[in-house]
Structure 1
Amino acid sequence: MSHYLQRIGRTFGIEKCFEMLIVYYWILLYVPSGETSVDRSSWTYLMYVLPVLTFSTLFGLPLLLRKSLSKSVVILIAYTLLVSAIALVRADYATIASTYLLCATLAVIYANQLRAPLSLLNALLLASIVAGTLTNLLGTNLYSVIPGLSRDNELWWRISLFPQVATSAFFCLTVFFLNILFRSAALRKTTLCLSAYFLFGSGLRSALLATMLAGLYYLLLRLGILKSNRAKLIYFFGAIIGFVTSLLASPLLIFLSGNEFVNSFLFRTHSATVSEADVFRTIYRTWIWSEHIRMAADEPIIGLGTFNFIELAQFNPFIPSVSTGSESFITGLYTRVGLLALLFLWAIYTMIGTGLRHNRSTPLIAGLIFAISLLSYGSFINPYNLVFLIIVSSMTITKSQDVKKCKVLTDSYS
């Protein structure tokens, strides 16, 4: 039975299925949806969930019959079972479904060492310029690929490949660093320039901070300063702490205000002066963190289960009431499942650590981008999102033989 199920992956071609999944979710980024919230029984919801559910189930079942599993996969299985057991007692089927889908997809990608081909990602970036332009002209996309032509009231110069700016920024951020690390990819120089153009043109502060932190890590590698795995992990955690500290100290940015461009970038206001309201209205991730922690105080060990952030949050008058709290995935996960969220983080840590032991640099850079996403733009941390699939598949690269397929710049010194 085990041998039969393992042949399923070879028969269907798991790598090709993964590539098709990526292309499918790229197409969905341009599909307009007027629904603010999607009912789980609707066709729209099935359109997003069904493909990745089929993929993760079809290729996940053979994992359970393997004689040995990696530590990361074992942790993910344990996390899924524990969370599901508690949720079952509560009749919280939404938590069971989302936990299974997330962990099954992660396990399949990691166990099979699936990687989004960089040539495909570069081609998608070029295709996104065309698709973004067409959807902007059709009126289904607020953003243009040319500064000044977007219909964005906050940043007149903002550009984006997709209707969702955060998705475009983190997509370009990941593609940018993959093209730096992998030298033999097709259209490398072209996509390096274009990804940098759309990344910086997005005006997304979290993505730009992630660029600085990942760029500094790459520079320190080139200089030979980060030689040991311990030093690399120290930098990794230090960068995350630095990112969190920068958000906690965000009110101090008011002292940097001075002209309309700086104010529009930092505080999303065209005024020459910046008020306290402008600061808290535009940089409110720390408020979401505190609200998640406050909500979880009722059930700090096992969490609340599935919850409605808008109903439970105590909104600050400076904070937009439309926030659903999804911007911070990790604190929202803690509110939902309690301390079991640490198991999920442990699984991610072991994936990155295994990559380092195999002398790979890609997992740590992708892991850093993933960590910042968990804290600041967690809305796309779900298995049916293009950027999630790309980041996770880059973060879970561990096999040394991948170098034979594509020369990796950092392998010569990392």
Structure 2
Amino acid sequence: MESLSFPQVGGASKLFPRSSTCAQTGDYTAPDGLNFTVHCGEDVISSAYSSYVPTQKNFTACMDGCSTESWRCWGVLWQESNSSCWELSAPTALTTANLTTSDTRDIALANSTQLSNANVSCPYTNNMALTTPEGLDFKLSCNMEVEGNDLCPWFSDFCPTYAVSLEECMEACVHAHPLCEAAMWNPGHLTGYLNCFLKNATGPLVENVNQVYHTAVAEAAALAQGCPTYTTYTSTDGKAFNITCSQTATQATNITFSHRKNITACIDSCASHDGTPECEAVVFDATLGSGYENCQLLNSVQMLDSSSSLNIAQLVSTSSGSTSSSSSSSSSKAWIAAPVIGGVVAIVGIGLAWFWWNRRKRSNDAPNQNSPTQGVPIQGGNYLYTSASQKNQGVAAASETRSHQDELDSAPLSELVASERVELASQGNTAHELPA
């Protein structure tokens, strides 16, 4: 190992109070999770130093750099007088017996248990099928690696990342965006503390040469592609959503991601979300190109843009709210209620006829502000339409063009006397997905 010469500091300790930064830092955890024990006013024998040229950093940045090296960095030596940082590469020399008092330097030793793993053998049988809690299947290839094709997820601060086990590395793959296709784990940390490598390809797989890697290749099930045949959907708990195909949100607050098999399941997860902020929209990706977790819950959607593979659904109202839902939603409710109401038409016909005539008269006096033809009011004084035909019909002719059957279907049962009232079956999910 080459011999390093250190600058003469002489009385520099009077100009640069050597222990100020060290005392303020104390024991430290790097952003990626590697822990350091700090020894202020300590040095170590030169055989522990790496041959790298000292870098110019502050003390915490010196430790951060050590934690992200592509080899096992066991600690750092920091000299505050000239902001020099030496990384320590010889673990056998890093013992308290080898520490010496220093007026100019400080030592930070990495947690050795986080950097060493005596058992580097494959944790499962080769070619074994493994499934994560989120439902993503993997096939394990022991002592094999995917060369190149490294994936750095959109929301990751570290590439590669740290994983204490193969399962944890697979979990990182599940949550990655865009899609992660393989998780490669280095149990011995010979490539550094960050030992989980995500890949955007499933192969080719090659046998290990200088390092030990175990690779789990993802096998995600294909989902039905294309756009739904319906433009509205009412969730299982009664919330109405408008669906727009080939669009995504470009300005919104992200709540969470999860995996769903279709857009209706994605919408249901939004409707049942009870956290803060409230879920107001979803973006669904049936291609899985954006990641295995293909259902994104959103709040405060401000801007939309076209997309070839994504569909968006936005909250309109709840079935019990005062805001009217779309015409498609109304027709589906009528379809469910009609068989029940048909059996009592003879009993309630007179009452309904009187109510229809009276309602018709009132509709000629004042326009219906929430009719299905007009749409649902949204921000900016505009209206949200569920189909082009709704928009073209116009508001002025809304009352006159409604059919007699629509009036009967929309008549509230509360207008009937108690003895004539019919209790409908629960209409929790009033949208019906057509077969592919």
TM range (shorter): under 0.3
With CA pairs under 8 Å and 6+ residues apart, which has the higher RCO, 1 or 2?
A: 1
Give the TM-score normalised by the residue count of structure 2.
0.19
Higher helix proportion: 1
Give the TM-score normalised by the residue count of structure 1.
0.19
Larger Rg: 2
